[in-house]
A and B are shown apart, each in its own frame.
Chain A
Amino acid sequence: MFRALNVVKRFGPTVALDGVSVEFGSGLNLLLDPNGSGKSTLLKLWCGLIRPARGRVEVFGLDPWARRVDVMRRVSAFFEDVPAPWWLSGEEFLRVVAGKRGVSWSTVKEYAERLGVTGYWRKLIRGYSCGMRKKVMLLATLVADVNGYILDESHTLLDKDSIRVVDEIITEKVRSGRIVVVATHILTGVERLAKGFAILHNGRVVARYPGEAVEVPTVVECSSRDASRIVEEAQKLNPSKIVVSQSAIYMHTTSTQQASSFVERFGCVAYPDIATMYSEVVKV
């Protein structure tokens, strides 16, 4: 469980977080904000890299600042601004991580092959491109067998195939009951798995789910097996959008009641329409 309660963090005169309260449980959780709104700061607080000026931060019930080592035994984190040690090769660096995380080398190798890292990992990191370096760092984060994962801007700079593989790995982690927190402003489709999200703007939470008394736009995804009936029922409810594809029917609605009735009646899956929500917030 990642928790922040009325957290304030200042860097000199700049207020990075101003009374932020967020709680993320198991599954995928997204932290969304335009640049400079404080999401990396919140993630660093959860990793014990910095200390809040006010408020409380907890990770699995522990204070990350006071018990960073214990927290990092349960959490694996990736930050975009943390560089890799250039004087090591990618393979050496992953061996360091594997040694400290207690992960078998065969597991590392398996992940590395999926992400296409093995082709270059014997060269020194200083010779890597930004994307290559990012893949090694992501690999070092995702290979750990821990309870929680923090990924800050994990999808930028990656090619399409790498994004797909990272999403697959995130999906596997989520399905095995881990907590994954992804901070991003790029939505690649994995957000459909999201169990929770928070949108930050200028250091404040402007929307969050769950735990927020606001209408959250929802996507209801139904199987296309009973398509005509579902579409007919959906049209009666006057949703904001209906999309029918070969494999599924998507209904966008702002009513959680409507969404739950479809889930109950037709066995559909409902998830927050984060993309719409985020674009609305950014517009404001």
Chain B
Amino acid sequence: MISVARNPLLILFLLLSGFTLLYAYFTIASVPRVAGWGSPENFCVSPQQNLFDLLYERLYLDVDGRRLVFRGLFVVYMGGGDNMTVDVIPPSAPWRYTLIIKDAIRGSIEANYSQVFPTARVALPVIIAPRPSIYYVDVRAETMLRSVERACLVYTIAVHPSKRVDASNIAIAFSIVLVMGASVVVVLRPRARYWGLLGEIVMNTKFVWLWLFTPLTILVAYSTLLNTSPIVAPLAPPITSDVDAQLIALQNVSDLSDVEFLAIYGTMSSVLLTLLFTYRREIGEEKLRDLLPYPRWRRYLATLLTHLILMYIPLYIVLVLHLFQLIPHIAVNNPGIFFRYLFHLLTATIFVHALTSLIPLVVSVLSPKVSLSMLLSVVPYLLLLYETPIASVLLSFLPYIRSFRSINHYAYSVIHVYLRAPEKADITRLGGGLTCSQYLYGTVALYIALAFLLLLVYVRRENP
């Protein structure tokens, strides 16, 4: 038993499980919530401007400016039994509502619904997903206006998860207690063997373990606060009382936005990497490693790998487990597509890891003092919350970030991810249109940039 506990692989496995479950706890396994979005403000057209184009949702006037048409195309990722509504309120009645739902994996049409309604506010159908899959949704609403005039339309897309979250919540909470408890016991056992790159990663992990409790506690507290705080505006607009449809009642529970998530996760990630890069240097412990026959490049590699393993692999594992839980038939029936998708997400994860490592690295080069560099490296993420221009720069940082956002979506509390529909339901392009090879090239380029920065660190620090 003791010899098993001395195995560094086991220690790493336990630590990884602990971190993964911890992330899972405050990401997917929180309260059940609704995912979706609504129409923008002033989603209107007029004879002067007869088209409002949101790329995949479009509102326009047709036939001498009297016919108003709304068309939306999007992809929804749903588990079996989940409810989805596409709620539309046109400016006038009668109006025609058409909804086509297609299983993107099977290629089968699951629903083809078309109905003319005499009033504007009606109970629209609730779509219950027959199986976990990715659904291709085509919605259309048409009405004839009484005169040529300005017309506005309101729509709300919402998915309500049907089950499973509460059960997994309890299971995961128990698992966290068990695995993290075991991990702490094992980590604090002084009998572990350490050698080579793996030993270095284990040492780093223990260092991080001791440091990371504080940020994790803050993160959990913040996450809990956001789940319950009334000051947070709900993502989906509240349903007005005159809607006569019980099934589409939405829960008034909000999610973290992408920006908030990126800010928190980026902050944690930066703190961790800054610590790994600067703290031991500052206290002089790096010299100790230099006095052992251990190349510096392996040390830096171990640092980057530790960061990747602790901050990003748990997200990836949560995502993969979640995919297996929700769409196992894809893995069984279309393993090629499934693994291509996993590979795509893995490269995207590594890419984002490289990208987010740049800021702390640059700061560590410029300012090797841990306190200052930690502060500086989190500033961009904190500004994300308050400064729209910075947020827009960072979030529009190519489609890579969008891809990462989709990972966050999966791994985070939104069970169901809405993505603006691509032309075809090709799941390898869910992240925003980049192919695997593009990610690979991008990843290689970023790692070269990282290596260059490491060289700068080396030159700056090793030659006083």
Cβ A11 vs Cβ B294 within 8 A:
no
Cβ B190 vs Cβ A92 within 8 A:
yes
User: Interface digits, B168-202 against A, CB 8 Å rule (1 contact, 0 not)?
Assistant: 00000000000000000000001111111001000
Contact of B203 among A72, A81, A85, A91 (CB under 8 A): A85
Cβ A77 vs Cβ B203 within 8 A:
no
C-alpha gap A97/B200 in the complex (Å)? 11
Cβ B288 vs Cβ A85 within 8 A:
yes
Given A81-B284, A91-B191, A96 contacting B203 (CB threshold 8 A)? yes
**Chain A residues with CB below 8 A from B288, complex form:** 82-85
Contact of A72 among B196, B207, B293, B464 (CB under 8 A): B293
C-alpha gap A127/B328 in the complex (Å)? 51
C-alpha gap A28/B463 in the complex (Å)? 30
Given A72-B293, A73-B293, A85-B288, A99 contacting B190 (CB threshold 8 A)? no
C-alpha gap A77/B293 in the complex (Å)? 11
* CB nearest to A85 among chain B residues: B285
Q: Please tell me the size bucket of the interface on B.
A: 20 to 34
C-alpha gap A84/B290 in the complex (Å)? 13
Contact of A95 among B194, B196, B287, B294 (CB under 8 A): B194
Which 5 pairs show the lowest CB-CB distances between chains A and B?
Answer: A99-B195, A89-B190, A91-B190, A72-B293, A73-B293
C-alpha gap A88/B205 in the complex (Å)? 11
Say if the beta carbon of A101 comes within 8 Å of chain B. Answer: yes
User: Interface digits, B193-228 against A, CB 8 Å rule (1 contact, 0 not)?
Assistant: 111100100010011001000000000000000000
Q: Identify which of residues 275-299 in chain B touch chain A, using a CB-to-CB cut-off of 8 Å.
A: 280, 283-285, 287-288, 290-295
B341 to chain A, nearest CB (A): 39
Count of residues in A whose CB is under 8 Å from the partner chain: 32
Contact of A49 among B192, B207, B287, B294 (CB under 8 A): B287
**Chain A residues with CB below 8 A from B283, complex form:** 83
Cβ B285 vs Cβ A83 within 8 A:
yes
Contact of B194 among A47, A50, A92 (CB under 8 A): A92
User: Interface digits, A67-97 against B, CB 8 Å rule (1 contact, 0 not)?
Assistant: 0111011001101011111011101100111
Cβ A79 vs Cβ B291 within 8 A:
yes
C-alpha gap A199/B22 in the complex (Å)? 58
C-alpha gap A68/B299 in the complex (Å)? 14
**Chain B residues with CB below 8 A from A48, complex form:** 290
C-alpha gap A97/B203 in the complex (Å)? 12
C-alpha gap A162/B285 in the complex (Å)? 24
**Chain A residues with CB below 8 A from B192, complex form:** 92, 95
Known A50-B464, A89-B190; further 5 A-B contacts with Cβ < 8 A:
A47-B290, A76-B291, A85-B207, A87-B206, A100-B293
- Residue from A88, A92, A122 whose CB has the most chain B CB atoms within 10 Å: A92
- Residue from B196, B290, B291 whose CB has the most chain A CB atoms within 10 Å: B291
Say if the beta carbon of A135 comes within 8 Å of chain B. Answer: no
Say if the beta carbon of A155 comes within 8 Å of chain B. Answer: no
User: Interface digits, B285-329 against A, CB 8 Å rule (1 contact, 0 not)?
Assistant: 101101111110000000000000000000000000000000000
Given A85-B203, A96-B203, A72 contacting B190 (CB threshold 8 A)? no
Cβ B206 vs Cβ A77 within 8 A:
no
Say if the beta carbon of A39 comes within 8 Å of chain B. Answer: no
* CB nearest to B463 among chain A residues: A51
User: Interface digits, A38-50 against B, CB 8 Å rule (1 contact, 0 not)?
Assistant: 0000000001111
Contact of B284 among A76, A83, A89 (CB under 8 A): A83
C-alpha gap A69/B291 in the complex (Å)? 8
C-alpha gap A76/B206 in the complex (Å)? 25
* CB nearest to A96 among chain B residues: B194
Given A69-B293, A92-B190, A82 contacting B287 (CB threshold 8 A)? yes
Given A81-B284, A83-B283, A88-B206, A99 contacting B193 (CB threshold 8 A)? yes
Q: Identify which of residues 38-83 in chain B touch chain A, using a CB-to-CB cut-off of 8 Å.
A: none
Given A95-B193, A99-B195, A47 contacting B292 (CB threshold 8 A)? no
Given A49-B290, A50-B464, A87-B210, A100 contacting B195 (CB threshold 8 A)? yes
**Chain A residues with CB below 8 A from B287, complex form:** 49, 79, 81-82
Given A50-B464, A51-B463, A87-B206, A97 contacting B284 (CB threshold 8 A)? no
Cβ B293 vs Cβ A87 within 8 A:
no
Q: Identify which of residues 406-464 in chain B touch chain A, using a CB-to-CB cut-off of 8 Å.
A: 463-464
**Chain B residues with CB below 8 A from A87, complex form:** 206-207, 210
Cβ A99 vs Cβ B194 within 8 A:
yes
A45 to chain B, nearest CB (A): 12
Cβ B194 vs Cβ A72 within 8 A:
no
B393 to chain A, nearest CB (A): 37
B25 to chain A, nearest CB (A): 25
**Chain B residues with CB below 8 A from A95, complex form:** 190-194
A179 to chain B, nearest CB (A): 16
* CB nearest to B292 among chain A residues: A100
C-alpha gap A49/B296 in the complex (Å)? 12
A98 to chain B, nearest CB (A): 9
**Chain A residues with CB below 8 A from B193, complex form:** 95, 99
User: Interface digits, A131-164 against B, CB 8 Å rule (1 contact, 0 not)?
Assistant: 0000000000000000000000000000000000
C-alpha gap A245/B210 in the complex (Å)? 57
A69 to chain B, nearest CB (A): 5
* CB nearest to A92 among chain B residues: B190
Q: Identify which of residues 22-41 in chain A touch chain B, using a CB-to-CB cut-off of 8 Å.
A: none
C-alpha gap A23/B295 in the complex (Å)? 27
Contact of B295 among A51, A69, A89, A121 (CB under 8 A): A69
C-alpha gap A73/B295 in the complex (Å)? 11
* CB nearest to B8 among chain A residues: A99
Cβ A97 vs Cβ B292 within 8 A:
yes
Cβ B190 vs Cβ A69 within 8 A:
no
C-alpha gap A100/B291 in the complex (Å)? 11
B194 to chain A, nearest CB (A): 5
* CB nearest to A123 among chain B residues: B190
B293 to chain A, nearest CB (A): 4
Can you offer 18 A-B residue contacts whose CB atoms are under 8 A?
Answer: A47-B290, A51-B463, A69-B293, A72-B290, A72-B291, A72-B292, A79-B287, A82-B285, A82-B291, A85-B280, A89-B190, A91-B191, A92-B192, A95-B191, A95-B192, A97-B292, A99-B195, A99-B199
C-alpha gap A44/B210 in the complex (Å)? 31
